[in-house]
Amino acid sequence: MLFQVEMDVIVTPDTDMAVFEERKAAEKAYSHELQRSGKWRHIWRIVGQYRNISIFDVESNAELHDLLMALPLYPYMDVRVTPLCRHPSSIRDDDS
């Protein structure tokens, strides 16, 4: 079951960058693990912004919620979730 997730990372001149960088490294490892498991299907960066657009493939709303709340950078993020389904015009097997 697919969801689009947009993640904005809020960093300001006041952010404690030592703490942030530590969490960012943890975030990368966590993202790699979820990508390898197939749960985090895609991640793209929006040009010029500290923001990504991702596609998650999960069993349920609850699983997605748990995965997102465990993001190491979650306290720095503004997250928006959009439920997706197969488009009748899609010809790809993996668009659902």
HSE (side-chain half, CA atoms, 13 Å) at 65: 3
| 57 binds a second copy per the rule CB under 8 A | no
Euclidean distance between CA atoms 46 and 56, whole angstroms: 17
- Binding of residue 93 to a second copy (CB under 8 A): no
Q: Does 44 bind a second copy (CB under 8 A)?
A: yes
- Per the DSSP assignment, residues forming a β-bridge with 7 are 52, 79
Which residues are at the interface with a second copy (CB under 8 A)?
A: 1-5, 11-13, 15-16, 19-20, 27-28, 31-32, 35-36, 42-49, 52-53, 55, 60-62, 64-65, 68-69, 75-76, 79-92, 95-96
